[in-house]
């Protein structure tokens, strides 16, 4: 059988070691074609016109890019989120879009825990004081400095990442409640040690609200002024999913007014961050540059999962991890996720 082509759309500049992983883990019988990170939509469309598979982080492509790619069998994204993909265009061509199967779930979960601890223990402020020769100056030792033990952590979304966060939070002897549009079985809730509650209840009772939902029409600005108003003044918000899940203006107002205690944010509405964004100046905000998912370890898992899915399709099997918005086109895939 002739070799089939996998087009790898980088989306962003990939370090040499990650590109080396992509080549080393590629299964036999496939050719890997790298598309530069600065490639235009037209250039990506040209690359996939004669290819069987598209993977990586492809930017939004017009409908015709998919409908004209007559040999394309699968779009395998390497991220948990897929809001940058033209789902409608892929649907027209009946090309399944698959997520990364939780390959970066541990990385993001660890990052979420890190932000919880960094916010609670004022890590950034203390670091800046020490290197600036100020020690405790201006930061009282016990004011608004907390432990994770005994707190109630509310997870908004209990997918692959949310479940990994739940497991790790339980190790801190914290209580975990969750809200998701799909409630898990009582057996699964028991195994994870989590309790389902309505979203309003979660917002009103959680000491830490941690967001783990995809960005779509239903979740855009789901954390708005009303939602923030339901949170306790002592509560903190952690966001490691997508910036636009939060109404940033409402969050800034809540933080400035002390309506919530603090926030730890890996994502913002505009990325890279606008240098004039008030979030950059608030002392009760800890920021990271959308860096929760990319690790050396997670990329190995991403390529392993992605290539395994490509091999399934090459064998004539149904792929795993088809996104919910396309499962109606591939009902036979619902039992293989």
Are 13 and 51 found together in one domain? yes
Domain final residue pick, 287, 305, 322: 287
The yes-or-no answer on residue 290 being catalytic is yes
Are 175 and 282 found together in one domain? yes
State in Å, rounded, how far the first CA of the chain is from the last one. Answer: 28
The pTM of the full predicted model, rounded to 2 decimals, is 0.93
Are 182 and 59 found together in one domain? no
Are 321 and 278 found together in one domain? no
Q: Which tens digit of pLDDT belongs to each residue from 241-286?
A: 999 999 999 999 999 999 999 999 999 999 999 999 999 999 999 9
Domain that holds residue 74: 4-103+295-333
pLDDT of residue 138: 84
Are 162 and 81 found together in one domain? no
Instruction: Find the catalytic residue in 111, 168, 242, 302.
Output: 242
Are 171 and 89 found together in one domain? no
Q: Which residue has the tokens 């979420």?
A: 112
pLDDT of residue 335: 42
Length of the chain counted residue by residue: 337
- DSSP type of residue 241: S
> Is the model's pLDDT at 150 over the cut of 80?
yes
Are 115 and 208 found together in one domain? yes
> Is the model's pLDDT at 75 over the cut of 70?
yes
> In 214-315, where does DSSP find H-type helix?
225-230, 248-257, 296-314
Average pLDDT rounded to a whole number, residues 85-107:
96
- Residue closest to 215 by CA, chosen among 84, 101, 316, 28: 84
Average pLDDT rounded to a whole number, residues 109-116:
98
Residue 138 is encoded by which pair of tokens?
Answer: 């201006």
- The Cα–Cα gap between 106 and 254 comes to 30
Are 307 and 321 found together in one domain? yes
The yes-or-no answer on residue 110 being catalytic is no
pLDDT of residue 336: 41
Are 149 and 225 found together in one domain? yes
The yes-or-no answer on residue 184 being catalytic is no
pLDDT of residue 89: 96
Instruction: Find the catalytic residue in 271, 276, 300, 302.
Output: 271
| Domains: count for the chain | 2
Who contacts 6 (Cβ-Cβ below 8 Å, separation ≥6)? 26, 30, 31, 32, 33, 51, 52, 53, 54, 55, 307, 310
Q: Which tens digit of pLDDT belongs to each residue from 154-200?
A: 999 999 999 999 999 999 999 999 999 999 999 999 999 999 999 99
Domain harbouring 143, CATH code: 3.40.50.720
pLDDT of residue 1: 58
> Is the model's pLDDT at 143 over the cut of 90?
no
Average pLDDT rounded to a whole number, residues 125-147:
88
> Is the model's pLDDT at 212 over the cut of 80?
yes
Average pLDDT rounded to a whole number, residues 69-76:
97
Beta strands in the chain (DSSP E): 4-9, 30-35, 53-56, 74-77, 97-98, 152-156, 175-179, 194-196, 208-211, 236-239, 262-265, 285-287
Who contacts 82 (Cβ-Cβ below 8 Å, separation ≥6)? 97, 99, 214, 323
CA 246 to chain CA centroid, Å, is 14
Are 202 and 304 found together in one domain? no
Are 143 and 109 found together in one domain? yes
Are 151 and 63 found together in one domain? no
Instruction: Find the catalytic residue in 111, 168, 212, 290.
Output: 290
> Is the model's pLDDT at 337 over the cut of 90?
no
């Amino acid at each position: 059988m002739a070799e089939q082509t996998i087009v790898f759309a980088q989306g962003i500049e990939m370090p040499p070691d990650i590109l080396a992983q992509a080549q080393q883990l590629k299964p036999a019988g496939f050719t890997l074609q790298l598309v530069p990170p600065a490639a235009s939509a037209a250039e990506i469309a040209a690359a996939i016109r004669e290819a069987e598979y598209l993977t990586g982080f492809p930017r939004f492509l017009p409908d015709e890019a998919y409908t004209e790619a007559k040999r394309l069998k699968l779009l395998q994204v390497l991220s948990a989120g897929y809001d940058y993909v033209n789902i409608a265009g892929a649907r027209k061509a009946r090309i399944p879009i698959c997520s990364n199967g939780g390959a970066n779930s541990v990385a993001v979960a660890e990052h979420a825990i890190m932000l919880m601890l960094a916010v609670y223990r004022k890590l950034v402020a203390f670091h800046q004081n020490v290197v600036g020769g100020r020690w405790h100056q201006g930061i009282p030792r016990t004011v608004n400095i907390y432990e994770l033990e005994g707190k109630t952590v509310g997870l908004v979304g209990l997918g692959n990442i949310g479940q990994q966060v739940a497991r790790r939070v339980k190790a801190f002897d914290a209580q975990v409640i969750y809200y998701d549009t799909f409630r898990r079985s009582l057996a699964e809730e028991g195994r994870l040690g989590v309790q389902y509650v309505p979203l309003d209840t979660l917002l009103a009772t959680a000491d830490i609200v941690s967001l783990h939902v995809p960005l779509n029409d239903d979740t855009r600005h789901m954390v708005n002024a009303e939602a923030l108003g339901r949170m306790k003044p002592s509560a903190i918000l952690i966001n490691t999913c997508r910036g636009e899940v939060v109404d940033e203006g409402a969050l800034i107002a809540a933080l400035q007014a002390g309506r919530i205690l603090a926030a730890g944010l890996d994502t913002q509405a505009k990325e890279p961050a606008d240098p004039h964004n008030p979030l950059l100046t608030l002392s009760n905000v800890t920021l990271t540059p959308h860096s929760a998912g990319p690790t050396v370890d997670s990329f190995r898992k991403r390529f392993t999962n992605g290539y395994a899915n490509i091999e399934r399709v090459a064998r004539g099997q149904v792929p795993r991890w088809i996104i919910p918005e396309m499962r109606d086109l591939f009902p036979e895939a619902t039992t293989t996720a």
